Amino acid sequence: MTNRLVSKILVLDARDEQLQSLSRVCEEQNVIGIAVRKEDLAAALAEHTDLGAVLLAGDYDGSPSANAAIAAQLDALRPELPVIVQLREPSELPAALGQLRARCAADDPQSLRSALDEHVFGVAFPDALVDGIIEITTGRLRSLFPSLDVVAEPPSIVRDRIIFGEAFSLIPLEGNWCRGYMLMQAEEEPLLAMLGGVEASEGDGRRDGEPLNFRELNSVLGELTNLVWGAFKNRFLSEPAAGPQPLVQVPLLINHRHRYISFGSDNPQLCFRYRLSAVGAGTDRDVVIDQRFVFSLNWSPEHFGDNGDDAGSHACGEIDLF
């Protein structure tokens, strides 16, 4: 089964009738639309750190100057997010909104579809790559944590550059069709609490139920990263690069205070989230592992190849779009 790529967008539009029309376009385009009132915008940006874009109605706050203030707020808080402004007369874009990278006609669904295709889904990822990553990672999670349930959420396109959680691992990926990084991220306290309650593994030096400390958690996350990286490399990166490759490197920029990471390119992140839960436990005990792929140094999908299925394959469920 092919896992459909989705993307979350904030929808800033006060008109109920327009939201109903937007919901149909979102479903067709595999977009999860999150409607936000203007007084809730800051809270929504803080809550949703895996967005693909913001859709801003030209008359959202009543006047061009008010909308320009909202656009300035978005640009200050999340400049990496494309802002698609919907105008009743696209040719009459107010000068105050001229810095926005995308626009579409408010009453033309095809115009919105084109803007989403260009600014959100502008990079195509092979189905075999998306499916294979889920198969590989769920298989390694289940082998590493056999007493936990593992469910893969729908994969998504993310334009945000916000770090998820506190525990973080990073490993480079290099092949004949790509160069970039894989990230594995988690919130420390929930993962420590859950893993401290599972059976101790042979050789980890603790008794069943004994809590882990953050260094032991680092080891677990590092082991998971190595397992997934090794399987990914064997399946997708076994072909040597053709000819001499330029050894171009781009500095990574990390700002811990703002939970921000930049890989030096505008390429979107391919995001996967895996929900771990104790068997029979309620969802309030679930823990999320956030996995990102950023092909920031080279992306040549025409050379992509899949060497075969991975043991322990998994197909994620359907997504409810709204």
pLDDT tens digits, 13-46:
766 666 677 788 888 889 999 988 888 888 999 8
Mean pLDDT of the chain: 82
CATH class of 127-303: alpha beta
| Residue 174 confidence (pLDDT) | 92
Q: What is the predicted pLDDT for the residue at 318? A: 32
For residues 276-298, give the mean pLDDT: 83
Architecture of domain 7-119 in CATH? 3-Layer(aba) Sandwich (3.40)
| pLDDT of 72 strictly over 50 | yes
The three-state secondary structure class of 221 is helix
SS3 271: strand
**The pair of three-digit structure tokens given for residue 183, joined into one six-digit string:** 């990230």
Q: How many residues does the chain have?
A: 322
Distance CA 72, CA 66 (A): 10
User: Which tokens in the block code for residue 205?
Assistant: 């030096």
Residues 42-57 as b or e (16 or more Cβ within 10 Å = b): eebbeebbbbbbbbbb
Q: Say what the pLDDT of residue 261 is.
A: 93
pLDDT digits (tens, 9 = 90+) for 88-111: 665 555 555 555 567 677 677 888
205: DSSP letter: -
Q: Compute the distance between CA of residue 152 and CA of residue 235 in angstroms, rounded to an integer.
A: 20
CA torsion sign, 160 to 8 to 294 to 241?
A: negative
How would you class 99 by CB atoms within 10 Å of its CB: exposed for 0-12, middle for 13-18, buried for 19 or more? exposed
Which of left, alpha, beta for 30 (phi over 0: left; psi -120 to 50: alpha)?
Answer: left
By percentage, how much of the chain surpasses pLDDT 70? 78
Rounded Cα distance between 134 and 44, Å, is: 28
Token pair, residue 58, equals 């030209």
Give tens-digit pLDDT for 190-242: 998 888 765 544 444 445 556 678 888 899 999 999 999 999 999 999 776 55
Say if residues 249 and 113 touch (Cβ distance below 8 Å). Answer: no
Which sequence spans correspond to the domains of the chain? 7-119, 127-303
Q: Which of 50-59, 177-186, 296-305 has the weakest average pLDDT? A: 50-59
Positive or negative torsion for Cα 111, 84, 39, 186:
positive
One DSSP character per residue, 104-150 reads: EETT-HHHHHHHHHHHTS-S---HHHHHHHHHHHHHHHHHH-TTEEE
